[in-house]
Structures are given as C-alpha cells and as structure tokens.
C-alpha cells in the first residue's frame, strides 16, 4: 500500500481485494477514517458487505482524485439518518478529496462508500425498463465490479419474509462462498471477473475506456509510439524517451496505468512471446482486451493474438492485421475499430447479461427521432438507419409543417423501421416537436439525427458504448469531419473529443428518456433546442460526453443551416482534407 503525505495508509484495490488486513473493527464504535489511493479503492469498499467498520462518523480521503470536468460536483447518494456532510474538493481538477459524514445511527463502511460513489464518478439512468436487483456477496472477487452497470456494488439484502419476496434477484458470489443467500439466482464469479462458464475475459468499462485520450497526434503533447517488453513477471511499456509503464500481466490494468496510456497512440506487440501456460494465455487475452478498450492501437501482434485464450476472434484478427498507422484519421479509425470490438465482446456488463439470459446480452432499444420539413429526404435517411449494425432500432418521423411522403414504393424493411409518424403544424416549435416524438419512443434511449448528415454503419453502436463507459446523461459526436458540398471535399478538424464537455453536435445526441424527463424535457423553443437541453443537463449536475468523430460526417450544403458559418471557416481549421465524401471518416472502406 502507499504512504500518503500525512503518513496514513493509502489503501489500493489490491490491498482491499486481498485479505482486507487492517480493516477491522476495534469494538469501540470509534470514527472510521481511511485514506484510499484512488476511486477504485472506494469502489472496492462497497464490496465489504454489511457489518464491517460500523460507526456514526466516517471519513474517506481519496489521495488521487480527478473530476470528469473542472468544477463538476457529484451528489452524495441516499444515506439514512445523514446529519452532516463535509466534502473538500481539490482546488483544481486533480488532487486530494475528502468526505466526512456524520449519521444519527451507526452504519457500515460499505453502505457509506456506496453513497459516496455518485460524488466521485458520473452515472446515468439505467437503460432498461425492468432490470434485476444484482447484489454482490462480500466473498466475491473485486473484479466482480466489472459486471455491474453502476460502478459500485450493492450488498445482499435481507427480507423479513423471504417466502413473499426474496431479498435479491441475483447475487454474485465467490468460488468458495458457502453462505445461503436469499436470491432467485446466484452466479459464481471467477477470480478474473468472469461469470462461471463464460469463456471470454471481461473488461471493466468504468476503468478500461478511452476517456481523456489525447485528441491530437501533433501539438504541444504529441502522441507517442510504444512497445511492449516482457521482463521477468511484468510487462514494461516503453513510449519514446518517457518513463516506462509497468504492467502486471496477471492482473487487470489499473486506473493509474490506463491514465498513463492516454498519450500512447500505438503499442507494438512484436516482442511479446506466446504464452507458456494456459493460465498465461487467459491472462494475455484479458490484458489485450483491456488495452484495446482504452483506445491504444495494438499492432505487430500477429504472432500472439491467436494464442490468447478467450480473446474474441474478431479482436484477435484485427490486432493481427493492424500495422502501425501514420495519419490522424488512420490512427483514430483503427483505435475505434479495436475498442468497439473489445467492448462489445468483452464488456463485463454484457457478460453478466449473457449469463442471465443464456444467450446474447440484452441491449436497450434506441428510438431515432427525425423532425424534418423535407419529405424527399426521408427515404434516404431511413436507408442510413437501416444500414446500422446496432440490432434494436426504430424511428419516429415528425413531418414539421409538411405532409408525409408517399411510402407505397418503399421497401418493407424501411416501412417497418418507422414505429410512428406525426404531422405537426408549422407553428409548432422545434422543441415541442421533439417532445411529441420522444413521447412516442419505444425507448428507453432516444437518438436525435438529422436528415442531411452522413452516418456510418457503426454510429449507433459507438454512442451506446460511449454512454455505457462514460456515465454521461448525453453522449454524441462533434463535427470533426465535415463535407463541404460547395468544394466537394471532406475535412477533418482538430476537436477536443474523448472527454466530457458541455456540447455535442445536435444530429448525434443520444440520451435516455428518463434523463431527459429528469431535467424537464425538451424546451419549447424554435431553435437551439440541442443546446437548451444540454444546458439543462449541465445545470442539473449532469454531463455530456464527446465520442470520437469516426462514423459521422457533418454536411454543409448551403441550403440553410442553424449554424451560421461559411465554408472558409471549416477549411481554415482543417488538419486533413480529401476529395469527395471520404468514406473512411464514416468507418467504411474507401
């Protein structure tokens, strides 16, 4: 464990996840005071279960805390009998954070830690209308956290009359847990976080993600090329002349390692030897999946990717055939392609869902909202939605001041996509039109798209994944790629992406109906409806997240835009430029 500046122990996840030595009650009910290395140590505290470190006074200090946005402040969760709360935030975005809590009756540290977690990490509303209550037994491995939709655990609860209502729907237990749990079902979690019977390792989306990954290859802090070197029982990632990053190949990548990888664009696996044992092969699969999920481009792995036991075949193939990219878009696209597969095939929350269903994971339905006064573009728009790889989609079409198009000549697959069509008077504000469309959504997620922009086939999937790993209320993309019809060119602009922000492009906004309703819904304004919603979200303490722009091309056609800017504005800020519509910007082979 680390020593903090004041001499106190700074408990890490490894400390808490092993024997919990030192975290015992002295029987006096004295105040509990812990210094924790980072937010993941707080996450681990939520797994201690009831009855550990019980007191009316708790102090938790996070030695290394980083807020999603400067000045962002989360909110403490519900605590029965809360008398006093004192939160001391870092002066800047990063630093030491302390939380002091006083209660009117004793409570255990797991309950307190679970209430503190919403202060530290963002979380959005559940994606499912009905979802099981998943609790985590104290004996389950710390890696069980990777399986949960929220980044913290809920301990098993007791019902006074279990014959009427069982205490829990699902309880995650360790391999040696012999306790009897009041649950409809228990699932054994392996030491590496996999549900029993799962063949693939799991990725913890709360840790293994591309958040804050460097947006530009050039600039004041350029991305670096790295190579992975084996050394005794550890890996060393060497990036140019910078200090080495040490990785334990037998354990999941820590948040500290992931943060250090933010400036590493490419990672050469060419020096990595094939695993010597089956245990090494399984560990290798876990580390490769985690690395890919962070957004670093893995290449040179043709000799080892296929030997990683449990690595998704598609990810192994992508790693094996990827060469070190050079240009900006080439790097960004390779990173997005690898991370998308890593998350889809290895995300812990999907693995748990598959274990519960016995098949494919349950995914939320996404309702696309289209408000348009151009009936001639509706069929073309539906073709783009039909081309999406995401499996659960429908479209609500709102004809704003115009009649619906004649659909008799449309293919059935396009007509079947449309779950509702509304014709609204032109005097209806754009905001009210979106509100009417949202009310007809099959949800629980809604996605605002525009009829004159271009969308790649993985566009919806990427946003659903971004919502899952960011915890933001609104996710979207920026106009990173712009097609200028006047000049028949596509440009890529430098944008602050892969981070929390206060705005995303209006034609890319994904949110849950619950989160929209929680801030009062869409404002009934004629324009700037997107900005109005995002303002409401931010003022309510929520967040928006900007995903990498691959898969979306904003079109400037000169036939009327709410964003008043001429073509020269986009050309001046271009970092790359191509003739025509550049298909790789949409994630399509050119």
Q: Supply the pLDDT for residue 239.
A: 86
Q: Supply the pLDDT for residue 139.
A: 87
Q: What is the mean pLDDT of residues 340-349?
A: 97
Q: Is a pLDDT exceeding 90 seen at residue 527? A: no
Q: What is the pLDDT of residues 255-306, one digit of tens each?
A: 999 999 998 999 999 999 999 999 999 999 999 999 999 999 999 999 999 9
Q: Is a pLDDT exceeding 70 seen at residue 558? A: no
Q: How many CB atoms are closer than 10 A to CB 408?
A: 6
Q: Supply the pLDDT for residue 18.
A: 40
Q: Which two tokens stand for residue 477?
A: 């993309």
Q: CA 388, CA 371: separation in Å to the nearest integer?
A: 19
Instruction: Specify whether the CB–CB gap between 133 and 154 falls below 8 A.
Output: yes
pTM above 0.85, yes or no: yes
Q: Which of 99-103, 537-541, 553-557, 560-564 has the highest mean pLDDT?
A: 99-103
Q: Supply the pLDDT for residue 477.
A: 96
Q: What is the mean pLDDT of residues 197-215?
A: 93
Domain at 363-586: CATH code: 3.90.550.10
Q: CA 320, CA 306: separation in Å to the nearest integer?
A: 8
Q: Is a pLDDT exceeding 60 seen at residue 569? A: yes
DSSP 376: G
Q: Is a pLDDT exceeding 60 seen at residue 578? A: yes
Instruction: Specify whether the CB–CB gap between 78 and 89 falls below 8 A.
Output: no
Higher pLDDT, 216 or 117: 117
Q: Which two tokens stand for residue 504?
A: 């995303």
Among 21-35, 125-139, 191-205, 538-552, the range scoring the smallest mean pLDDT is 21-35
Q: Is a pLDDT exceeding 70 seen at residue 357? A: yes
Tokens 């962002």 appear where?
A: 72
Q: What is the mean pLDDT of residues 100-108?
A: 95
Q: Which residues of 420-444 are buried (b: 16+ CB within 10 A; e: fewer)?
A: bbbebeeebbbbbbbbbbbebbbbb
Angle at 494 between CA 490 and CA 497, to 5 degrees: 110
Q: What is the mean pLDDT of residues 314-336?
A: 92
195 by DSSP, 3-state: which?
strand
Domain ranges of the chain: 1-121, 125-198, 224-346, 363-586
2-3 β-sheet, strand order: 2-3, 9-11, 32-36, 55-66, 94-107, 82-88
Q: What is the mean pLDDT of residues 440-455?
A: 94
Q: What is the mean pLDDT of residues 186-200?
A: 93
Q: Supply the pLDDT for residue 21.
A: 40
Nearest-CA neighbor of 527 among 463, 455, 432, 451? 432
Higher pLDDT, 13 or 550: 550
Q: Supply the pLDDT for residue 202.
A: 97
Q: Supply the pLDDT for residue 125.
A: 81
Tokens 């922000």 appear where?
A: 501
Q: Supply the pLDDT for residue 526.
A: 84
Confidence category of residue 20, pLDDT binned at 50, 70, 90: very low
Q: What is the mean pLDDT of residues 130-135?
A: 86
How many Å separate Cα 270 from the centre of its chain?
29
Confidence category of residue 565, pLDDT binned at 50, 70, 90: low
Q: Supply the pLDDT for residue 51.
A: 81
> By CB neighbour count within 10 A (0-12 exposed, 13-18 middle, 19+ buried), where does 231 fall?
exposed
Q: Is a pLDDT exceeding 70 seen at residue 373? A: yes
């Amino acid at each position: 464990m680390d020593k903090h500046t004041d001499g106190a122990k700074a408990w890490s996840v490894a400390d808490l996840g092993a024997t919990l030595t030192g975290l015992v009650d002295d029987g006096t009910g004295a105040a509990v005071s812990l210094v924790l290395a980072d937010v993941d140590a707080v996450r681990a505290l939520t797994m201690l279960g009831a009855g550990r470190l019980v007191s009316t006074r708790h102090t938790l200090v996070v030695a290394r805390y980083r807020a999603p946005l400067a000045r962002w402040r989360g909110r403490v969760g519900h605590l029965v009998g809360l008398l006093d709360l004192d939160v001391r935030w870092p002066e800047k975005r990063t630093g030491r954070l302390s939380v002091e809590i006083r209660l009117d009756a004793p409570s255990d540290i797991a309950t307190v830690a679970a209430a503190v977690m919403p202060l530290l990490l963002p979380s959005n509303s559940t994606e499912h209308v009905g979802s099981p209550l998943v609790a985590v037994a104290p004996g389950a491995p710390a890696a069980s956290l990777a399986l949960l939709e929220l980044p913290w655990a809920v301990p098993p609860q007791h019902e006074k009359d279990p014959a009427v209502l069982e205490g829990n729907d699902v309880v995650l237990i360790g391999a040696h847990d012999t306790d009897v749990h009041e649950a409809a079902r228990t699932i054994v979690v392996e030491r590496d976080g996999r549900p029993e019977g799962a063949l693939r390792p799991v990725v913890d989306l709360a840790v293994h993600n591309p958040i804050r990954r460097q947006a530009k290859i050039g600039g004041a802090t350029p991305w670096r090329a790295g190579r992975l070197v084996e050394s005794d029982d550890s890996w060393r990632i060497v990036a140019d002349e910078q200090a080495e990053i040490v990785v334990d190949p037998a354990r999941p990548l820590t948040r500290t390692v992931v943060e250090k990888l933010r400036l590493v664009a490419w990672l050469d696996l060419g020096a990595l030897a094939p695993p010597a044992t089956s245990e090494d092969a399984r560990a290798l699969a876990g580390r490769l999946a985690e690395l890919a999920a962070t957004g670093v481009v893995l290449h040179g792995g043709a000799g080892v990717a296929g030997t990683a036991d449990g690595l998704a075949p598609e990810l192994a193939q992508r790693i094996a055939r990827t060469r070190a990219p050079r240009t900006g878009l080439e790097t960004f696209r390779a990173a997005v392609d690898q991370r998308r597969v890593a998350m889809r095939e290895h995300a812990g929350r999907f693995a748990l869902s598959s274990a519960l269903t016995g098949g494919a994971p349950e995914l939320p339905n996404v309702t696309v909202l289209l408000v348009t006064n151009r009936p001639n573009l509706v069929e073309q728009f539906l073709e783009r939605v039909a081309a999406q790889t995401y499996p659960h989609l429908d479209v609500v079409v709102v004809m704003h001041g115009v009649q619906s198009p004649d659909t008799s000549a449309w293919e059935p697959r396009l007509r079947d996509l449309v779950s509702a069509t509304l014709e609204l008077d032109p005097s209806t504000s754009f905001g009210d039109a979106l509100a009417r469309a949202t009310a007809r959504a099959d949800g629980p997620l809604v996605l605002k798209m525009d009829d004159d922009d271009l969308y790649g086939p993985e566009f919806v999937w990427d946003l659903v994944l971004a919502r899952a790993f960011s915890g933001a209320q609104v996710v979207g993309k920026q106009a990173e790629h712009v097609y200028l019809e006047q000049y028949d060119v596509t440009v890529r602009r430098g944008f602050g992406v892969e981070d929390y922000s206060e705005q995303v492009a209006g034609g890319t906004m994904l949110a849950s109906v619950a989160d929209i309703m929680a801030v009062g819904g869409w404002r009934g304004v004629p324009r700037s409806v997107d900005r109005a919603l995002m303002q409401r979200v931010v003022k309510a303490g929520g967040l928006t997240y900007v995903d990498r722009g691959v898969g979306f091309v904003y079109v400037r056609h000169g036939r009327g835009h709410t964003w008043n800017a001429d073509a020269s504005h986009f050309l001046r800020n271009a970092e790359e430029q191509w003739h025509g519509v550049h298909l790789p910007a949409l994630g399509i082979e050119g």
